[in-house]
Structure 1
Amino acid sequence: MNISMILEMAASDGDRVAVTGEGRSLTSAELLEHARRAARLFRDHPAVLYLGANHPAYPVALFGAALAGIPFVALNYRLGDEQLTALRDKHAGAVVLEPDELNDFLDSTAAGDQDDDVEFPEWDGDAVAAIIYTSGTTSDPKPAVLRHRHLLAYVFNTLEFGSAEPDAASLVAVPPYHIAGLTNLLSNLYTGRRVVYLAAFTPAGWLETVRDERVTHAMLVPTMLARIVNELGDAEADTPSLRSLAYGGSRTPLPVLERALKAFPATGFVNAYGLTETASSIAVLSPDDHRTAMDSTDPAVRDRLGSVGQPLPGIEIQVRTEADDIAAPGETGLVFVRGEQISGEYGARSVLDADGWFATRDLGRLDADGYLFVEGRADDTIIRGGENIAPAEIEDVLLRHPAVVEAAVIGVADAEWGQRIVAVLVGDADTAELTAWVRERLRSSKTPDTIVFRAELPKTETGKLLRRTLIAELENANA
C-alpha cells in the first residue's frame, strides 16, 4: 500500500483537472507524470522537505516522494531562521524545495521523456509517508510520523472513490504543513473533486475565490472562519456554489459558529475533529446534525451544536476518568481513540498503549448517543480552590457580549486559590460590566478574577491559541 495508488486511481480519468493554483492547472494524468519524474529526482535522497505555501508543486512533491519510497516533510516556512535551520538539520541530505523554487521545480518535472526502465521501490504500507511537526504550542515541535497505511485507512474507511459531482471543486486554504493540507489533497483526489489552492488567506480573497472558481467544498480553521464572518458583518456570504463548509483544527467558539450558520444559510456545515497523530478526522458533526441541533427545542439535542459529532467508521472513542475507568455518559474525562488510521508515533517512539489506544490529552465527554464534546486540552484546565474549570465555557459566555471580539481564559498561579481566573480579551468594554455579564450566566466561582485587554491574542499560524505564552507573560508581569 502506498498513497500514490490514490493518484494512479484518479489518473484513470486523465482529462479531469485535479489541481489549480498560482495560475496553473494539472489534470490527474499530468500530475502522475510530474510525480514520476519527481520521484526520479528524489530517489537518491533520504527525504523531501517542502518549505512553500499552497502550490501545484505540493502534490507533485508529495507523490514524487511516495513513489521514491522516502518521507515527505512539509515545514512551516514562517518559522524563524533558527527554528527552521534546526528542523532542516534533522533531515541531512534531503531534497529541499524552497518557496522561490516551486515554479522551477514544477517546470523541471514537466519536461523530459518518461523513463519506463526506472524501478521504484515496492509499495510498503509500513513505510513512512509523511512527517508533520506538531505546532508546539506548549513545547518544541514533535515529529509526528504518518505511515502509508494510516493515511490510506482514513481515506478508504470514510470516502467513496469517484463519488464527487462533475463540477465539484474544493478550496484548500489551510497551510501544507497542517495535517488537513495533506488529507484534503488525498480526499479530493480520491472522490474526484478539483483542488483549488489558495496560497495566502485573507477573508476577502477567500470569498472572491469561492465565487470566481465556483467552489463547492471548503475547509477552514476556526480563526479563518471567525475572520470571514467578521468581514461579512450582518450580510450573507453570497456564495451560491458552496455546498459544504468544514471547520476544525481547534475549538470553534459557539458564537462564531452561530454567526457563520446565518451567513451561509444554504451551505452544509461539517465539524471535523482530529489530530496530526490520528491522520486527520476521527469524529464528525454532519450537516444534518447541525440543522437538527439548530432547530431543536430539546436542550440535549441543541447542545450537540457544541459537539464534534460521532466517530468515523473504523474509529473507537473512550472517555476515561482519572482512575482510568470508563466515564459514564455526560461525565468529563480524558479522550482516548483507537483505529487503523491512528499513528501515535513520534520519530521512533510510539505512545500507543498495549491495546492500541492513543491518549489525545483532550478533555471531553460522550453523551448517551455517542456524540463527543471536547472541552479543551487537559493542561488548560483551571483548578481554582479545588474546582476544575474548563476555560471554553467562560470564553463562550464572554464572546456573546457584543463588545468582545476574541477571548482567552487562563489560570494564573495564586497563593490563596491555587489559580485565579484571568480573561484576556480583544475588544472594548467596561470590566465591571463584563464581570456582571459572566456572573449572571455562570456561577460566581467561574467569574474571571481579572480581565485584561490586548490588541490581539498570540496564536500559531493555524490559529491555535498560545495559552502558555499568555500565562508566562502575565506571571512574569506579576513577579
Structure 2
Amino acid sequence: MIPFDKIPKRQTAILYHGRQIDYGELLANSQPYQKRLKSIKESVIFLPMKQEPETIYKLVACIRANKIFVPIPENDPILKAETLKKEFSSAVLWLNDFIYFKTELPEIQLPKDTLFIGFTSGTTGERKGFVRDKESWLQSFANFQSVTTFAPKPYVTCLTPLHYSLGLYVLLQTLSSGQTYLLDVTTLTDLLVMPDVLNHCQVFSVPTVLNDQLSAIENVQKQCLSIILSGEVVSINQRKQLFEQFPNAQVLTFYGSSETSFIAYNAVPYPSDNCVGTLFPQVTISITETDQAIGEIRVTSPMTFQGYLKNGRFYQASATIATGDMGWYDQQLFYLGRKDDRINRKGEKYFPATLEKRLIESLYIKDAVVYGYPDAKLGQGIAADIIWVGRSLSLDELNQFLKKDVYRKGKLDKYQSVADIQYNDSGKKCKKR
C-alpha cells in the first residue's frame, strides 16, 4: 500500500490553480469515491487521467480499495475502453457513472497486489499491457530518492500527460513521498509565473517535449530548478540550448523503461558519447555479448515489472529482463540503440539512434529519424527524415558531416525533408517498418 496515511495531514499534496489541497483533504475527498468502488465487484477500472483533482481522488480510491486501474487518455475514453475491454473478462470505465464491460474471456489470474496495467504499442504497433504491482513501484520510489543526485525538492511536476508512464510515475512518487505535485503546471511557461516555486522544483519531461517548450521562452532564466529527463538521448545541441536558457539549472537524465523502472542515471552536464551513466542501487546489468562486449542489455532489480498482458492472456516476466537495447558496460552503462532497429548495410551494422544523435548536432538540423529500407545491392539502405533549421543540406554535405565523427561512422543513402516526426507515449521516435 502506498503510505498516504504516514504523511502529515497538513502538508500540501497538490497545488491546482492557486488552491492548496493537503494530504488530509486528499484522503478525505477520496473516501466517497472509495465507497462507490465497494458497490462493484469488477477488479479492473479504466480511469481517464484528466489533469484535475477529481482524477487524483479516484486514483487514490482505487489504490486504497485494491482495485487495478488502467490509465487511459481523457479524450474519447469510451472508445479507448471499447478497445481495451478485449483484454479482460470484465471491467469498468469510471466517468461520472460506471460503465460496465463484459466479454467471453475467462477471468485472468493477475499477480497478487497488482497496482495498475499500462498499455502501450511501443514502436511496433502491437498493443500490450505491462503489469506493475505496488511493491515494485515502492522499490522504485525508494531507489530513486536514495540517490543524492535526485534529492527531493518540495515541488514536483511533469510535462507529459498523466496517462503516460512517466507522468503517472512522477505523480505517485510525489504523493508517496510527501512532496507537492503542481497539477496545473503542464508547460515551463506555467512554471515561470510561479517565482516562489521555481528554485525548489523538480521538472520531469522527455527531451522532445522540453525542446518544444524551450523554443517558446525568449529570455534567459536564472532559476535553479532541477530538470529530469528520460526517453530519447539528449543531444549536445539540446543540452547547449537548455543551459543557455537556464544556466543555473541542474539537468539530470535517467535510462529505463516501463518494464524495468530505473536502470542508470547521469548527472554530468555533457556526458561521454553513448553514456547513460551510473547504475541505480540494487540494479545488476548483464550484457549478452555479440561482438567486442557489445550486446543486449539485461536487467535484474527489485523494480522490474510482473509481466505482459497480451490478447487477454498474462505472460509472467522472468527475473532478468531483456531490454531489447544494445550497449556495453564499463563501470558505467553505454547505450547504442534498439536491437530490432539495427541496419545491416553491406554486412556493416549501424544503429539509427547513434546516427540520429550525430545528425542533430548539426546546426542545420532540428530533429531527425533514421531507419533502414530494403535495397537489392546493399541488403539494407539507410534513410533519414529530417526537420531543417534554416537551409537544408545536400546528401553529400550530410555524409561529409557524418564522416567527421570517427566513433559514430555512418552514411545516408537517401533522405527526405519533413515537417514533423512522430513520437510514442514514452517519448521515443516511431520507426518506419
TM-score norm. by structure 2 comes to 0.85
- Give the Å deviation of 1:190: 3.5
- Give the Å deviation of 1:307: 2.2
Q: How far apart are the structure 1 equivalents of 2:153 and 2:337? A: 38
Structure 1 residues 312-351: aligned runs within 5 Å: 312-322=280-290, 331-347=293-309, 349-350=314-315
Q: Counterpart in 2 of 1:465?
A: 429
Q: How far apart are the structure 1 equivalents of 2:362 and 2:294? A: 27
Whether the aligned pair in 2 keeps the contact of 1:404 and 1:426 (CA below 8 Å) is yes
The change in CA–CA distance for 1:443 and 1:320 in structure 2 (over 3 A counts) is: closer
Q: Counterpart in 1 of 2:23?
A: 28
1:17 aligns with 2:12: yes
Q: Counterpart in 2 of 1:97?
A: 94
AA partner of residue 310 (structure 1):
T
Q: How far apart are the structure 1 equivalents of 2:337 and 2:302? A: 25
Q: Counterpart in 1 of 2:47?
A: 50
Q: Counterpart in 2 of 1:435?
A: 399
Q: How far apart are the structure 2 equivalents of 1:352 and 1:19? A: 35
CA RMSD of superposed structures (Å):
3.1
1:385 aligns with 2:373: no
Identity between Structure 1 and Structure 2 (%): 23
User: What secondary structure does 1:231 align onto?
Assistant: coil
Whether the aligned pair in 1 keeps the contact of 2:203 and 2:227 (CA below 8 Å) is yes
> 4+ residue stretches of structure 1 with deviation over 4 A?
78-84, 164-167, 209-213, 442-445
Structure 1 residues 77-96: aligned runs within 5 Å: 77-78=74-75, 84-91=81-88, 94-96=91-93
User: What secondary structure does 1:413 align onto?
Assistant: strand
Whether the aligned pair in 2 keeps the contact of 1:24 and 1:56 (CA below 8 Å) is no
Q: Counterpart in 2 of 1:252?
A: 234
Which structure carries more strand by proportion?
A: 2
Q: Counterpart in 1 of 2:371?
A: 410
User: What secondary structure does 2:36 align onto?
Assistant: helix
CA offset digits 1:362-408 (Å, max 9, x no partner): 112212x2x11222211111111111101122212211222211111
CA offset digits 1:128-162 (Å, max 9, x no partner): 1111112432122211100111111212334369x
The change in CA–CA distance for 1:237 and 1:85 in structure 2 (over 3 A counts) is: farther
- Give the Å deviation of 1:345: 0.3
Whether the aligned pair in 1 keeps the contact of 2:78 and 2:93 (CA below 8 Å) is no
Q: How far apart are the structure 2 equivalents of 1:25 and 1:255? A: 38
The change in CA–CA distance for 1:75 and 1:19 in structure 2 (over 3 A counts) is: same
Q: Counterpart in 1 of 2:107?
A: none
Whether the aligned pair in 2 keeps the contact of 1:52 and 1:97 (CA below 8 Å) is no
1:137 aligns with 2:123: yes
- Give the Å deviation of 1:261: 3.0
TM-score norm. by structure 1 comes to 0.77
User: What secondary structure does 1:189 align onto?
Assistant: helix
The change in CA–CA distance for 1:415 and 1:198 in structure 2 (over 3 A counts) is: farther
Structure 1 residues 271-350: aligned runs within 5 Å: 271-278=253-260, 280-286=261-267, 290-291=268-269, 294=270, 302-303=271-272, 306-322=274-290, 331-347=293-309, 349-350=314-315
Q: Counterpart in 2 of 1:223?
A: 208
AA partner of residue 399 (structure 2):
T
Q: How far apart are the structure 2 equivalents of 1:212 and 1:196? A: 13
Q: Counterpart in 2 of 1:263?
A: 245
- Structure 1 unaligned regions, length at least 5: 106-123, 295-301, 472-479
Q: Counterpart in 1 of 2:137?
A: 151
- Give the Å deviation of 1:445: 6.6
Whether the aligned pair in 1 keeps the contact of 2:338 and 2:351 (CA below 8 Å) is no
Q: Counterpart in 2 of 1:474?
A: none
2:324 pairs, out of 345, 350, 361, with 361
The change in CA–CA distance for 1:344 and 1:383 in structure 2 (over 3 A counts) is: farther
Q: Counterpart in 2 of 1:451?
A: 415
Q: How far apart are the structure 2 equivalents of 1:420 and 1:25? A: 56
